[in-house]
Amino acid sequence: MRDGGRISAAIEVLTEVETRHRPVKMALKAWGDASRFAGSKDRAFVSGLVLDTMRRRRSLGWRMGDDSVRAAVLGALAFDWGWALDRIAEACADEPHGPGALTDAEMAALAAPRDLADAPVAIRADIPDWLEADFVRAFADRAAEEGAALSARAPVDLRVNLLKSDPERAAKALAPLKAQAAGVLPTAFRIPAPNPTERAGAVETIPAFSKGWFEVQDLGSQIAAACAGEVRGKQVLDLCAGGGGKTLALAAAMGSTGQIYAYDSDPRRLADTIRRGDRAGVRNLQIRSPVNPDPLKGLEGKMDVVFIDAPCTGTGAWRRHPDTKWRLTPDTLAKRMADQDLVLDLGATFAKPGGRIVYVTCSVLPQEDEDRVDAFLARNTQFTLKPATEDPALARFLTPAGHIRLSPASTDTDGFFVAVLERSKA
């Protein structure tokens, strides 16, 4: 495909997303299925342009002075991809597959875009208007900067599985993918975000991956798991295990000692946890599936650690799922807050006297984070708030209240929140 056809394809996909409210992955797949002529480089180009445009949808429209999909795509090419005006004009005018010659207004906007510094906070942050106050509450005068960072492309982070390997051997195995130590945690490695027109190196192609030497896991997620503290020999319940990323991180930290129980309300997710656990060499994992009656029976009041990776809006993962930013509604947020209250209260029944709840969200919204913790403590007076980590390497991420808050702008990770709640021994 020529550039003009690729640009037209990106406009087509984005129009499908916006007019029919389809998830971007589904829209891209539908375009790919209907475009068998497109090669791998074409698909990478279209996908990259679609996602980059979606990440900065509002700020691109502001700079162009035009909120249309076409204007945003043109703005992404110019302002994010660094294309010269002549190149954009030539590609657009390429018949018969280009999207059509640039208008005088488009030429003027690309040559002299509006200054983003004059835009409202929500536009500079590339977030819906209704979330502006929440971002200001969370980040104060850094709200626009934090939102912009959540609109960038994300790297690929990896966690070395200490049950199968060690950082030195893993570094050698990951050398073909140009992975480097990510810092903060000795087991964390990072592959930089690829050029938007290229596909990232496939981690699964490295033989050591099949051997279970490492897992794909954002550094923020790894830090959140590390906040469980010393877990060797402990009884640990991962109450919202999902696909098992943090379950496996906890299991590795346990070193095949103690017992870790993985539960999720959706039994389909746990199937992946079993497969991944086998590959990682986990030997102390019990799956508690909701397909069985009373799946958590017998665990009440016995857990040293109840790890709750709570259902949330996923605002902290917008770098990886930019379309969810524009689909989020106040009603969805309210539902997630109710879910979080329920799962916290459920988790409290499993913590033993002196045991801990580790409450985690991949959200940056205070309503899902501090507010839920405060509401829980008001309902459950036998619990008290403790510092989210005692690890000196992670202490710099602590807030004045003792929580951990991570974000792309402040910690170069996805957005995460962690609070630790301890049950009294009496």
The neighbouring-strand residues paired with 288 are 263
CA-based torsion, 317, 320, 321, 325: positive or negative: positive
What is the DSSP annotation of 64-97?
A: HT--SHHHHHHHIIIIIS---HHHHHHHHT-TTT
Kindly list the distances between the CA atom of residue 243 and the CA atoms of 4, 113, 170, 215, 272, in Å, as whole numbers in the listed order.
40, 44, 23, 12, 6
Which residue of the set 92, 227, 312, 362 is catalytic? 362
The residues, any chain, with a CB within 8 Å of residue 97's CB and separated by 6 or more, are: 1, 2, 4, 5, 8
Separation between Cα atoms, residue 327 and residue 319, nearest integer Å: 15
94 is in an annotated binding site: no
Does the active-site annotation cover 227? no
Phi-psi map region of 82: left, alpha, beta (phi>0 left; psi -120 to 50 alpha): left
Separation between Cα atoms, residue 169 and residue 401, nearest integer Å: 39
In terms of C-beta density within 10 A (0-12 exposed, 13-18 middle, 19 or more buried), how is residue 330 classed?
A: exposed
Kindly list the distances between the CA atom of residue 185 and the CA atoms of 158, 162, 224, 276, in Å, as whole numbers in the listed order.
11, 12, 11, 22
Q: Quick one: how far is CA 14 from the chain centroid?
A: 21
345 is in an annotated binding site: no
Collapsed DSSP state (helix, strand, coil) of residue 303: strand
Catalytic positions are: 362
Binding residues: 264, 309
Binding residues for S-adenosyl-L-methionine: 264, 309
